[in-house]
Amino acid sequence: MSVSPVQQSRSSEWAEQWSMFADNERFLFEEWIRPATTEVFRGKDVLECGCGGGHHTAIMAETAASVTAVDLNCADLARGRCAGLANVDFVDADLAAMDLGRQYDVVICIGVIHHTDDPDATFRNLFRHCKPGGTVIIWTYSAEGNAMVRYGVEPIRKLFLRGMSRSGLVWLSRLITLMLYPIVHSVYRLPLKWLPYWEYFANFRRMGFGRNVLNVFDKLNAPQTHFTTRTKAGEWMSPERFEPDSISIQPYVGVSWSLVGVKRAPVPSGAPAPA
């Protein structure tokens, strides 16, 4: 499937990220998909949109009937991780443009939609690939609660870090992470919930150093990030598209949204279909 030259170059940045870091904190995946649980994959055909290094692919493949894992072109890393899993297939494609010619029981997209060129177009294509009655699960960075990253980190990244070598970025990420530890383990242990990123840093304390470095590196390395507003999340997860009782839009540690919904059956002919 086709991937444009610009996306090819971006995906090399991602491929390097996944070759240097492993996400071994399974609890994060389980929390990001809430209120769904890993039981949602059992016996189902799953479409994973943006598989990165394939660590979630492997988790889902434990119980899913099949997992089709799509990414721009870093599937090689994921292939290595999932070698021997007969129920996993990999596809190199752009999520907004792919046409896999079928629909899936579960369409899941973790930490990816905000990095695509056009999150709306990506969302529409993900939704299109879900069967009526199937479940869509998306975890995305929120606009709300992310002022420091949006207006502090992002401009610095664009101005100064684009030309930096990947190994330089890794060392910078380690340094920043190290510098965060004394703050996160002192001031942020006090019940000062009004502090920015208070919930986020509580989560920081649950993770190992390597995972925290990955989080910082991801912020500095990602070629582009569109932060999802609550309004946008509501537009995507509209009752026209999803069973109203199934729609869940939950904040996660104050910096992201977990979106879950069961796709509605097709509208009767004559009625307007959602895009």
Ligand X SMILES: C[S@@+](CC[C@H](N)C(=O)[O-])C[C@H]1O[C@@H](n2cnc3c(N)ncnc32)[C@H](O)[C@@H]1O
Pairing of the two strands 88-92 and 104-110: unpaired
Q: How many CB atoms sit inside 10 A of residue 28's CB?
A: 21
Return the SS3 of 256.
strand
Separation between Cα atoms, residue 237 and residue 231, nearest integer Å: 10
φ, ψ dihedrals at 266, nearest 5°: -55, 145
Choose which of 126, 218, 237, 254 interacts with ligand X (CB under 6 A): 218
CB of 93 to ligand X, least distance (A): 6
> Which residue in 21, 111, 257, 263 binds ligand X (CB under 6 A)?
111
Size of the site for ligand X (CB under 6 A): 21
Please choose, out of 6-14, 141-149, 188-196, 201-209, the segment that lies near ligand X by the rule CB under 6 A.
6-14
**Does 214 sit near ligand X (CB under 6 A)?**
no
The residues, any chain, with a CB within 8 Å of residue 169's CB and separated by 6 or more, are 161, 217, 220, 221
Query: What pairing do the DSSP bridges indicate for beta strands 45-49 and 66-71?
Result: parallel
> Least distance (Å) from ligand X to the CB of residue 173?
14
How many angstroms separate the CA atoms of 78 and 174, rounded? 24
Tokens (6 digits) for 247: 């729609």
- Any contact of residue 33 with ligand X (CB under 6 A)? no
Of 44, 56, 81, 157, which one interacts with ligand X (CB under 6 A)? 56
Q: Which of 45, 64, 67, 115 binds ligand X (CB under 6 A)?
A: 115
At closest approach, how far in Å is the CB of 72 from ligand X? 4
In the complex, the smallest distance separating the C-beta of residue 58 from ligand X, rounded to whole angstroms, is: 11
Residue 142 near ligand X by CB under 6 A: no
List the strands of the sheet with 248-252, edge to edge.
88-92, 66-71, 45-49, 104-110, 130-141, 256-262, 248-252
Establish if 75 lies at the interface with ligand X (CB under 6 A).
no
Which of 25, 71, 105, 154 is the binder for ligand X (CB under 6 A)? 71
Site residues, ligand X (CB under 6 A):
7, 11, 14, 23, 50-52, 56, 70-72, 74, 94-96, 110-112, 115-116, 218
